[in-house]
Amino acid sequence: MQLRLEPLPSLFIVALIAAATIAAAWAFQVFGGYAPCPLCLQQRWPYYAAIPLALVLLGWRSRSPHAVRAGLLLVALIMLAGAGLALYHAGIEWQWWPGPQACAAGSALSGALPDLANARVIRCDEAPWRFMGLSFAGWNGAISLLIAAIALNGARQRSP
């Protein structure tokens, strides 16, 4: 049995899963005390692009079905890139390859000067949490692939 979602439900599901994933990341950060490393922050970028794109496409659904399908394809490509970044980060955590210097030094991507007196080194090569063998990066990769698959499925379907 193959699941076939038309573009509109696909867009809704993509936006919902992506928003829930970002909300969970923020919750782990704020309430769980898990400080994100520079690669963790970069892995959020595809979500920051996919969520508003999906919402805009939901508004365009009646005007241009072709644009919606093309937009779903774009969302899929964005999330595949996100999955690649997540795999790269997971590989660093498993010591399969070295990470960037910014991760080892604990620098942030905020652009602000660090508070060296209270600085906590956030390393990209240490997974602070694992569930069923996967770290945050591993779960992000799985979720990114799921979102990409849903978007591709929706892009392939024609609206009635």
CATH number of the domain bearing residue 19: 1.20.1550
Q: Decide if 1 is inside a domain.
A: no
Q: According to the model, what pLDDT value does residue 3 have? A: 65
Report the pLDDT averaged over residues 92-119: 58
DSSP bridge pairs for 130 = 135
Q: Decide if 152 is inside a domain.
A: yes
Residue 76: is its pLDDT beyond 90? yes
Q: According to the model, what pLDDT value does residue 77 have? A: 97
Residue 15 CA to residue 8 CA, distance in Å, equals 11
Q: Decide if 133 is inside a domain.
A: yes
Q: Decide if 47 is inside a domain.
A: yes
| Distance, C-alpha 5 to centroid of its chain | 21
Residues contacting 2, CB < 8 A, separation 6+: none
Higher pLDDT among residues 17 and 155, named by residue? 17
Q: How many domains does the chain have?
A: 1
Q: Decide if 141 is inside a domain.
A: yes
Secondary structure class of 35 (helix, strand, coil): coil
Report the pLDDT averaged over residues 138-151: 91
Report how far apart, in Å, the C-alpha atoms of 31 and of each of 24, 25, 143 are.
10, 10, 21
DSSP state of 132: T
DSSP bridge pairs for 135 = 130
Report the pLDDT averaged over residues 85-97: 82
Q: Decide if 2 is inside a domain.
A: no
Range of the domain at 112: 7-156
Is-contact 7 155, C-beta < 8 A?
yes
Q: What is the four-CA torsion angle of 65, 70, 74, 79, rounded to 10 degrees?
A: 60
